[in-house]
Structure 1
Amino acid sequence: MAQSAFSLNRPVSSNQFWLYSLLGGLYTVGVGYLISKVGAVGVVLAIGGPIAGALAVMVLLQPRVGLLLYVQLSFIVGFARFAQVDVPVGLFVDGLLALTLLSLFVNGQQMAWHRMRSLAFALIALWFLYTVIEFINPEAPYRPAWLYHVRPFSMHWFMVACIVLVAPITRNDIRIFVNSWLFWSFLAALWAFKQQYIGLTPAENQWLFEGGNAKTHILFGQLRSFSFYSDAAQFGAEMAGVTLVSIIRIFEEKKLTLKLIYGFLALVFFWGYAVSGTRSALFVLIAGFPFYLLLKRDIPKLLIGLAVAIPLFLLLMYTSVGSSNYQVQRMRSALTPMNDPSFILRLQNQEKLKTYLKDLPFGAGIGTSTDMGARFSPWHWAAQIPPDSWYVELWIETGRVGVSLYILMLLGLVGIGVYRVWQLKDPWLVKIMYAFLAEFVGIALMGYSNPVLGQFPTNSVVFISTLLVATCYRWDIAPPGAAEIATAHIYPLNDTDHEAI
């Protein structure tokens, strides 16, 4: 019987062997041809193609996998600038989000579509609808530029909102999201230290000097480290954000070991912020930490925080202690903006913009300012005045109606977040959501001076975290007396009770 079984199985194994050999041979020939035609790009495609195919299948099977890949890809985007081959990582992000949305419909019966009946989604959807209508803005000098700029403005946020609300995200997925954020940020800090104290790579030097970025990244002979992010401002904002998150975790963790780990991370991230030379990123901490203390509704800790913070600010504002250190001096200048020529120039530019935008309540059209304007309509006034601010950029492109709607959306999301967090009972969930919400408030305030809300990876983190906070009840502890449900951490018993907000 054993021999018979062996003989029955043998032809199948032989057929599989020849099939795999044929496929392997065809793949090898294809790779060789590809490399001979396109060189290094062929090597990347040969290695990355099968991996990308496997990941695409995983995303189609589980949309939450696509969301976690989106987080990783958002941090990898910056590497494309220093790659020796031209890799359209930004288009990969668009494709990944589109594939994840498709996965929602493929797995439609497992998705919680009712969660889209929420105020948070309505706010984001309203903003997205407004930007879609902006496509027909008659003032736009080059309408196709809309497609490039609407993605960071609203499209990605809308797509992420659909995925986060509908997909069965677990508590472990939130842990992966937070740990990925801290891991990539730690690598970014180390790379910035390498730039600051060892030197730049040839590709980084090329980006710095050929693109004119040296004017903003080398001040008084001192490099503003930018790590593998889009620029020093983006890097500084991210470092300030994760510094705030680490500080909050120090306060929230009970175990001494975890307090020490987050204390170490806070020091690393804070010095990463310092070597970025991004003065406005200080306001992520100035706004975010007091907001966290208000969320805690802990008056003693609020007083302790003020007792520690006020002397430090007075030391920076009214003394010259540490002025010999460039990073300390940059922080000090952030607290006295009217003594800063660049800040005064920003105010002068905003006065010019008032004249142009006086009769344009809907702005000049999406894609008319910053790099997109310089690329597609360099002759237009919107492309010739640097906004130097996320909100000013919105003002230029969507008008006072658009920027007002956007700010109301942000305030609405903060209000929803506060309401949700104050209802939580699970200590682990509380400390995570406190950190998300406080960091969001700090980044939103910093948006006045830098366009960080429209750049990777800050926008990706904000897009996900705001929706996690708005629906944090999904992972809270079950109400007393509720029946045990195996999937309580995904779909709690009282999920539908929260949809009105």
Structure 2
Amino acid sequence: MANSLHTQAKAITTLFLVIGLGCIAYCALFGTLESIIIITILPLIGYVLICAFNKPVIAVYALFILNYFLIAWIRYTETTGRSVWIDILFVIISVMVIVHSILMKDIPWKLALNCLTLGGGLWAIYCLAEILNPTADTEAWIMSRSTIYNIFFISVLSSVLFTEIKQIRVLLFIFSILSSISIIKVFCQRYIGFDPIEQQWLDTEGGITHLIASGTRYFSIFTDAGNFGSNMGLVTVLFGILSIFTTKRAFRIYYLILAVLGIYALFLSGTRGALAVPLGGLLLFSLISKNFKLMTITGIIGLTIYIFFAHTYIGQGNPMIRRMRTTFRPTEDASFNVRKENQRKLAQYLKDKPFGEGLGLSGGNARRFSNRFTANIPNDSTYVKIWVETGIVGLILFLALLIITFLRCCYIIMFRIKDKELRGMLIAMLCGIFGLMISAYGNAFFNQFPTQIIVFAFFAIILNGPYIEQKLTQSQTIK
């Protein structure tokens, strides 16, 4: 079966190549740059799809990569509606997994039944029902479709496809490459300057929040500096911890360099709330590592960082350090007080709206649908955004999904996983997720691209930990 699929892949790739060359010639004469790029990579797309029938996890790798570059694609093609490609890819992957399961009968569907997928399913049903909310807007609800079903789809797909430790190694390496690209890009912004497309965005809308008195906030290929900074916090925690558990010296050095560059990139973002990611990650690491030496070292590092920012004025002349220091002195920060006042106003408005205002109807972006009260108050927080759009009922449901899954993951890592390498990978992912969960209180990035898919894919992999270790033990026994 595998050889047959490989032969088909070659034949179809050749066909795509011939068709593609003809289309490139046509587009070069009459098409746009975007159409030329799409046609150029058509043979690769065809080959990946055929290979994915044999190994469906390859399609999830492709989803992971597209998810990471989607915002950059939207920005540089200057068009809208590109998120539909994620929707299409979800459908394609789902069909491929089902067909592969029917033919090969090797998809462990029982893994799809866990607290994450059940919670994601309930969340999807609740968000679908939000269309019945009297204050909902149909267009805003449709444009919020990723909020509705992304959690469920990525949780199910990751649960049934990431079943071997080598797949996790590949995914983390892919993520390291993607992170390296985003770091290189922010260095280009900082030391070379913004390109014309980025400068246009800053001149039209982004400059209000990114060109501020304390300095420029850099955003790399992400939606904004808040999203970028929090993801760089994830890079710092994830690869910092991986560098401890990785046995190969070359990878240890590579991951350690990434972690250091990640924290520097976090500072370049100027996102104060993003500091919660490495600090929260260190805190959790010290609690679940069950290694006294590591607990002591991480505890000292975390305490040193806290004392440096909260109780000293060292480096106060540096605008990045000065801005980050206000995170630990929130009452002295004017923007923090404005946020608290905004939350007070929203609480008053929502007191008789247990199901919220409706999906897509909070924050400045909502003004394209309706110029209502909630569209004119920044939410500045993932949890506030969910509260405004889905009400206290939706917020409780979403937090329950996160907290129950998080606690289950902690239990699995602490008491079910024995293999050192696998345990290190899962700890690194969970510590990064925990930091993002904390940071989401101060930044509305958690359900944006690429963060949402990263978080819930990692969650699903951690829940699969016992099954992955069981297969690993069996393979070692056979050898």
- Distance (Å, rounded) in 2 between the aligned partners of 1:428 and 1:397: 41
| Matching of residues 373-388 of structure 1 within 5 Å | 373-377=366-370, 379-388=371-380
Deviation of the 1:237 alpha carbon: 0.5
- How far 1:294 sits from its partner (Å)? 0.6
1:40 aligns with 2:36: no
Shift of 1:88: 4.8
Unaligned runs of 5+ in 1: 1-19, 487-501
| Matches of 1:246 and 1:477, distance apart in 2 | 25
Structure 2 partner of 1:398 = 390
Please list, as runs of the form range in 1=range in 2, the aligned pairs for 1:225-240 lying within 5 A after superposition: 225-240=218-233
The 2-side partners of 1:351 and 1:21 are apart by 62
Per-residue Cα deviation, 1:21-60 (whole angstroms, up to 9, x for no partner): 9998876655444444433344234313333333333334
Match of 2:116 among 100, 114, 120: 120
Q: Is the 8 A contact 1:420 1:471 kept in 2?
A: no
Which residue number in structure 1 is paired with residue 196 of structure 2?
A: 202
Unaligned ranges ≥5, structure 2: 1-12
2:20–2:40 CA contact under 8 A, matched in 1: no
Q: CA RMSD in A?
A: 2.6
Match of 1:439 in 2: 432
Query: Which one of the candidate residues 319, 322, 338 is aligned to 2:312?
Result: 319
- The correspondence for 1:418, drawn from 410, 425, 429, is 410
Q: Secondary structure of the equivalent of 1:454?
A: coil
Instruction: Say yes or no: does 1:55 pair with 2:48.
Output: yes
Task: Give the match for residue 188 of structure 1.
Answer: 182
Q: CA deviation at 1:406?
A: 0.6
Q: Percent identity?
A: 26
The TM-score, its normalising length taken from structure 1, stands at 0.86
Cα shift at 1:475: 1.5
Whole-Å Cα distance in 1 between the matches of residues 238 and 24 of structure 2? Answer: 45
1:125 Cα deviation after fit: 1.4
SS of 1:297's equivalent?
coil
Asked if the contact 1:195/1:225 (under 8 Å) is kept, the reply is yes
Structure 1 contact 149–372 (Cα < 8 Å) conserved: no
**The residue matched to 1:110 in structure 2 has which SS?**
coil
Alignment of 1:247-266 (within 5 A): 247-253=240-246, 258-266=251-259
The alignment status of 1:164 with 2:183, answered yes or no, reads no
The letter of the residue matching 2:397 is L
Q: 1:402 Cα shift?
A: 0.4
Separation in 1, partners of 2:172, 2:17: 39
**1:26 & 1:445 partners in 2: Cα distance?**
49
TM-score normalised over the length of structure 2 = 0.90
| 2: CA distance, partners of 1:34 / 1:358 | 56
* Pairing partner for 1:86 from 49, 57, 79: 79
Give yes or no for the alignment of 1:345 onto 2:341.
no
Contact 1:35 1:42 in 2 (8 A): no
2:6 matched to which residue of 1?
none
Q: CA 1:168 to 1:443, structure 2 compared with 1: closer, same or farther past 3 Å?
A: closer
- If you compute each CA radius of gyration, which structure gives the higher value, 1 or 2? 1
Query: After superposition, where does 1:457-476 map in structure 2 within 5 Å?
Result: 457-476=450-469
User: Quick one: structure 1 residues 172 and 385, their matched pair in 2 at CA, closer, same or farther if it must change by over 3 Å?
Assistant: same
Contact 1:74 1:93 in 2 (8 A): yes
Aligned length: 463
Structure 2: how far apart are the matches of 1:22 and 1:448? 50
CA separation in 1, counterparts of 2:225 and 2:383? 19
Please state if 1:290 is matched with 2:312. Answer: no
Distance 2:14 2:92 in 1: 31
Q: What's the counterpart of residue 495 of structure 1?
A: none
Q: Kindly tell me: are residues 199 and 482 of structure 1, through their superposed partners in 2, closer, same or farther at Cα, counting changes over 3 Å?
A: closer
